[in-house]
Structure 1
Amino acid sequence: MEIERTAHGSATVLRCQGRLTMTSASRLREAVDQAVQDGRHRLVADLAETEFVDSSGLGALVSGLKRARQCGGDLRIAAPVEQVRTVLSLTNLDRVLRPYPTVEDATRDW
């Protein structure tokens, strides 16, 4: 998995490309930790190019959400593909990590 970090207004976008699984979840955690350490507490995980997510990947997203909220921020997910939306729905995590159709939608009220 590749994670590209960019700024989008007051938010930091973490564009995740590939499979978010047990072997790559630590990279997302590290990217979130680095952004928070840099004072960037409004995070968007852009999942448009994330083709698959497993339970470890979900754990990394929830961990990132918790980390951002501890600092007064938030983590939102944008543009999840069908497989990711299905997993979020089946686990009811779509109630906590509400998916937004685009990065722009995710950052609209920031």
Structure 2
Amino acid sequence: VHLEFHCVPRNPWSVLVLFGDLDMAGAPRLRKEVAQMVAAGDTRLVLDLTAVDFIDSTGLGAVIAALRRVRSHHGELALVCPEPRLQRVFEMCDLDRVFEFHESVDAVVGASA
């Protein structure tokens, strides 16, 4: 399943909702989209991985690149990742020390209100 995504504004956040596989085919598209969003001034991003079916090492790399890009512009990146099997992929790479997993977009947006 190819990676699809769309952006939903939730002031002050921009939510990038991902669907499908975040893999070697989709990772470059995610990197490009995040770069464009940050260049446009969106520096508080939520990556919603709720509908992501699969993530591989290139997908993890794209998520890390998104974090670096946002932080380089003094922004924030939050991950919505309620699925334990996806959380385990992050944990196997010790990335649970880098990212906090949120259960929903509302949990992120409400926490910053």
Q: Distance in 1 between matches of 2:98 and 2:82?
A: 14
Gapped runs of 5+ residues in structure 1? none
The answer on 1:43 being equivalent to 2:29 is no
Gapped runs of 5+ residues in structure 2? none
TM-score (norm 1): 0.94
Identity of aligned residues (%): 35
**What's the RMSD between the two structures over aligned residues?**
1.1
Q: Pick closer, same or farther for the CA change 1:20–1:80 going to 2, 3 Å.
A: farther
Which one of 78, 81, 85 corresponds to residue 79 of structure 1?
81
Which range is displaced more, 94-103 or 15-24? 94-103
Q: Pick closer, same or farther for the CA change 1:80–1:23 going to 2, 3 Å.
A: farther
Q: How many residues align?
A: 110
- Contact preservation (8 Å) 2:81, 2:87: no
Deviation at 1:83, TM superposition (A): 2.2
- Contact preservation (8 Å) 1:19, 1:50: yes
TM-score (norm 2): 0.92
1:82-101 matches, cutoff 5 A: 82-101=84-103
Q: Distance in 1 between matches of 2:98 and 2:76?
A: 11
Deviation at 1:34, TM superposition (A): 1.1
Which aligned segments of 4 or more residues in structure 1 are displaced greater than 4 angstroms? none
Aligned equivalent of 1:23: 25
Deviation at 1:47, TM superposition (A): 0.4
- Contact preservation (8 Å) 1:78, 1:100: yes
